[in-house]
Amino acid sequence: MRKGEQTRAAILDAALDLAARRGLEGLTIGVLAERMRMSKSGVFAHFGSREDLQIAVLKHYERRFVESVLLPSLEAARGLARVRALFGHWLAHAALEAEQGCIWISGAVEYDDRPGAVRDELVAMVMSWQRELSRAIGQAVELGQLRPDTDVSAAVFDIYGVILVLHHDARLLRRPGAASRAREAFERIIAYFGPRAPVAAVAVAGEAKLR
Amino acid sequence: MRKGEQTRAAILDAALDLAARRGLEGLTIGVLAERMRMSKSGVFAHFGSREDLQIAVLKHYERRFVESVLLPSLEAARGLARVRALFGHWLAHAALEAEQGCIWISGAVEYDDRPGAVRDELVAMVMSWQRELSRAIGQAVELGQLRPDTDVSAAVFDIYGVILVLHHDARLLRRPGAASRAREAFERIIAYFGPRAPVAAVAVAGEAKLR
């Protein structure tokens, strides 16, 4: 990396750390310059505006998320193994974030009523991540590891809820054990959409034996 | 109501509306005075400080929440009927809030890293609401409408997640149908914790008939 790129990367790391704690809206060029012991114009030279900085921070976050959650999960076999890997890596990532906050989750509240380029970027990222989850769950259905009538969007909805409530309980309520509670909640979802115990088949088998 | 109480109530309504849109941290005496066409000192006369105002807004919200969610649900019979009523009224309340935002949910993100009296008040309210949910679910277990091994806190965790993801999908993603999706998700949770189809019993009955 050239010097300029190194500086930009260092600013982004600091900016992401600040945004995780104070929200993307709490991120200002002034605070960031102070943190980096740079002049404001020095920071401005790398990011033309506050909005550009916020979007760059979101992209920086997404890059890390893809590296630590999505890519390692793609090494797992298609189907349920990959769905479990995606959730497992996501959970590990979220548990780390319970220390400092997740800018996708805090951003959801900051930007839900605030139209503009930052909101658009955030929505696009969340949708893209939900598409990855949907694809993996769809493959598990195709492989017969989840029931054929599984509503894939419903499963994504449920799993997203688990991560949101984990973040809520760990950060707001400081409730211990939120991560293992989240893991159990995920297993309940998989059990729900998984192939059912064959009640009818057993009953029919019983009757067949009677004849 | 005396004049002073009427004014206080009108200020609280306006403050809650503002806080729902901008967050409790976005609520300032200045903005509120402007909205009410009052002087800042006129608003200060009712609320000694910004923090007192924020706490008063939280209490105002909780009072409304209790009136529109908790109290009508207590008219339903103990057990699963009441659990369904609690969720149904909560969902209706949350669907209305999808228009403007919920200060418990936005507050969770605003205050998770911000210690102080406002955070303490918010946490106490969320815990109190979760205790109501727990009590109703516990009664459904006692009545045998949910499985005896139901982990009540796990059920509360799951249900809370449904409301959080409803808020997320409706407000950030502007996804249509989030409310009916949430209702289905709740039914999946109840189905999961509900009495299972008696697989083992059927199998044993089948075997018994064989003898």
pLDDT tens per residue, range A78-103: 999 999 999 999 999 998 887 788 99
Torsion of CA A10, A14, A19, A20, to 10 degrees: 110
Single-letter amino acid code for the residue at A105: I
With CB atoms and an 8 Å threshold, state whether B205 touches A205. no
pLDDT tens per residue, range A25-74: 989 899 999 999 999 999 989 998 999 999 999 999 999 999 999 999 99
B200 touches chain A (CB under 8 A): no
Whether residue A48 is contained in a domain is answered as no
Whether residue A71 is contained in a domain is answered as yes
Whether residue B33 is contained in a domain is answered as no
Whether residue B159 is contained in a domain is answered as yes
pLDDT at residue A197 in the model:
53
What are the residues whose beta carbons fall under 8 Å from the beta carbon of A10, sequence distance 6 or more?
Answer: A36
Whether residue A204 is contained in a domain is answered as no
Backbone phi and psi for residue A83, each to the nearest 5 degrees, phi listed first: -60, -45
Q: Between vectors from CA A141 to CA A137 and to CA A143, what angle results, nearest 5°?
A: 115
Q: Rounded to whole angstroms, how far apart are CA atoms B211 and A140?
A: 40
Whether residue B126 is contained in a domain is answered as yes
Whether residue A23 is contained in a domain is answered as no
Among B151, B172, B182, select the one facing A111 at the smallest CB separation.
B172
Domain harbouring B202, CATH code: 1.10.357.10
A87 touches chain B (CB under 8 A): no
Alpha carbons within 13 angstroms on the beta-carbon side of residue A168 total 29
Please count the structural domains in chain B.
Answer: 1
Q: How many residues does chain B have?
A: 211
pLDDT at residue A209 in the model:
43
What are the residues whose beta carbons fall under 8 Å from the beta carbon of A141, sequence distance 6 or more?
Answer: A147, A148, A150, A152
B80 touches chain A (CB under 8 A): no
Q: Rounded to whole angstroms, how far apart are CA atoms B70 and B62?
A: 10
A127 touches chain B (CB under 8 A): yes
Q: Which domain holds residue B144?
A: 52-210
With CB atoms and an 8 Å threshold, state whether B168 touches A164. yes
Using an 8 Å Cβ cutoff, are A194 and A145 in contact? Answer: yes
Using an 8 Å Cβ cutoff, are B205 and B197 in contact? Answer: no
Per-residue pLDDT tens digits of chain B, which is 211 residues long: 688 889 999 999 999 999 998 899 989 899 999 999 999 999 989 998 999 999 999 999 999 999 999 999 999 999 999 999 999 999 999 988 877 889 999 999 999 889 999 999 999 999 999 999 999 999 999 999 999 999 999 999 999 999 999 999 999 999 999 999 999 999 999 999 998 654 444 444 444 444 3
pLDDT at residue A101 in the model:
84
Candidates A172, A183, A210, partner chain B, best to mutate (most B CBs within 10 A): A172
Whether residue A157 is contained in a domain is answered as yes
Q: B99-102, long-range: CB within 8 Å, 24+ apart, which pairs?
A: B100/A113, B100/B17, B100/B20, B100/B21, B101/A109, B101/A112, B101/A113, B101/B20, B101/B21, B101/B171, B102/B20, B102/B167
- Distance spanning both ends of chain A, measured CA to CA: 78
pTM of the model: 0.90
